[in-house]
Copies of this chain bind each other. A is one copy, B any other.
Amino acid sequence: MEFSYSQQSLDLQRELQGFYSEHIIPRWRDWQIAIKRNNNPHPNFVDELRTRAKDRGLWNLALPDLQDDQPGTRLSNLDYAPLAEYMGRYHGSSIVFNCQPPDVPNMIALQHDANPEQRKRWLQPLLEGTTRSAFAMTEYSVASSDATNLRTGITREGDSYIVNGHKWFITGAAHPDCEFFIVVGQTDPNANSARQHSTIVVPTATEGVTVSRELSYLGSYDSTAPVGEVHFDNVRVPAENLLGEEGDGFVSGQVRLGPARVHHCMRAIGNCEMLIELMLNRAKERATFGRTINEYDTVQNNIAMSRIEVEQARLLVQKTAWLLDQQGFRGARREVSMIKVAVAQIYHRIADRALHIFGAMGGSDDTPIATSYAWARAFRIGDGPDEVHLRQIYRMEQQPEGELADSPYILPPISAS
């Protein structure tokens, strides 16, 4: 194991931080006021920032398979880690660098599954940052953490597929610029459970597609990729919109979900750093019963435990990114599940500590904590709940051979004689 950053990554870290210092941080408060108080999640300067970032090559940093003729800078997953983490400090800011979910995982899915024609039509505009997309997997009526439950139908009819289903919690679906969905549905309910599902591109503008509302989670709305409830009622799309072959749906999902989870973890760790900084700042200013609260050991312990948890999780995320670079999703599968559980849990805990230290203010919209808390809690469910990943991790443990009674660790009972 040998996970160190390339010189390119080190340079980009410096450059990215410079970009934040110069262009983003001075506007951060205005951006948040626009989102939280003026119902304007995308103020004009965001497009200026995007143009500027793209011009400087701070663009598409999360795509290890970026081609030479595509815009942006190709980086390995490991090299992207510190950049993603920094972006994560400022929730939603990764859109400036075209590194925002769900578009990045969708680009990865299209890189992997789309044919040249499909790439030109759907991938290229995403790479350019001129459009937006969504991945329509989770459904209203079933526990979608077990993907074999998905019931949306994708039925062949001549040169078309007919899509019928009720999806919700579709990140980005409620964004006005969302141009298409990658829909996961059943093409063959009679195939074996791993081959029943397929993915197909459905343009938002198709008849029968309805985004019936924007959804919140614990009162938080996603400002850059608003979450939607989506109905597909007899939606007809050309058969050529199918990605890969019928039955490839689960494989596609895996390809996309690996990096999606890893990036999510990276940003979450950056967000934890922000929360620690806020706790430190609050604790030195606030006083009760004659002491600033940073003199209380519960406060000190909470901050110190957060530090320990972040340091450990970061190393495992880095190792996972490195494994993903070296061995692809197969080789990193266990680690992806481990960081998914670990990071979601520490993020939840750290956000909870920050919430507590900030008293009532922490739950208000005046700090980023309520949003962090909501997304931290959601992360324990989204991308697969804790339980599903723990089950996977358990199953990947190597089972010991032999009987326990023969283990050198176990002494025999004492017999009667």
Please list the residues of chain A having a beta carbon within 8 angstroms of any beta carbon in chain B: 1-4, 25-26, 28-29, 32-33, 36-37, 138, 140, 142-146, 149, 166, 168-169, 210, 212-213, 215-220, 229, 231, 233, 274, 276-278, 280-282, 284-289, 293-294, 296-298, 300-301, 303-305, 307-308, 311-313, 315-316, 319, 335, 338, 341-342, 355-356, 359-360, 362-368, 370, 373-374, 377-378, 380-382, 385, 387-391, 393-395, 397, 399-400, 402-404, 407-417
Contacts and interface: CB of A to CB of B under 8 A. Distances in A.
Nearest to A20: B408
Nearest to A36: B411
A278 B388 CA distance: 22
Nearest to A388: B288
B304 A391 contact: yes
Nearest to A307: B393
A217 B356 contact: no
A324 B277 CA distance: 27
A381 B2 CA distance: 34
Contacts of A389: 304
Given A143-B287, A304-B390, A414 B229 contact: yes
Given A312-B315, A414-B212, A387 B281 contact: no
Contacts of A338: 307-308, 311-312
Nearest to A91: B409
A319 to B, nearest CB: 6
B28 A409 contact: yes
Given A25-B408, A363-B216, A304 B414 contact: no
Contacts of A410: 366-367
Contacts of A288: 143, 145-146, 149, 388
B360 A212 contact: no
Contacts of A217: 360, 363-364, 370
B355 A29 contact: no
6 contacts: A218-B218, A297-B298, A297-B390, A300-B394, A312-B315, A312-B342
A326 B244 CA distance: 50
Contacts of A395: 300
A412 B366 CA distance: 7
A390 B356 CA distance: 15
A216 B215 contact: no
B363 A378 contact: yes
Given A288-B145, A307-B393, A364-B216, A380 B399 contact: no
B364 A409 contact: no
Given A168-B413, A307-B394, 11 more contacts: A1-B4, A25-B408, A33-B411, A210-B416, A218-B218, A219-B374, A285-B404, A300-B390, A312-B338, A359-B381, A367-B411
Contacts of A399: 280, 284
Contacts of A33: 411
A280 B287 CA distance: 26
- Nearest first, the 6 closest Cβ-Cβ pairs linking A and B are A219-B219, A231-B416, A217-B363, A210-B416, A315-B315, A312-B312
A229 to B, nearest CB: 6
A395 to B, nearest CB: 8
Nearest to A358: B381
Nearest to A29: B408
Contact of A366 (B26, B281, B374, B411): B411
A209 to B, nearest CB: 9
Contact of A364 (B215, B308, B342, B380): B215
A389 B138 CA distance: 35
Contact of A312 (B316, B382, B417): B316
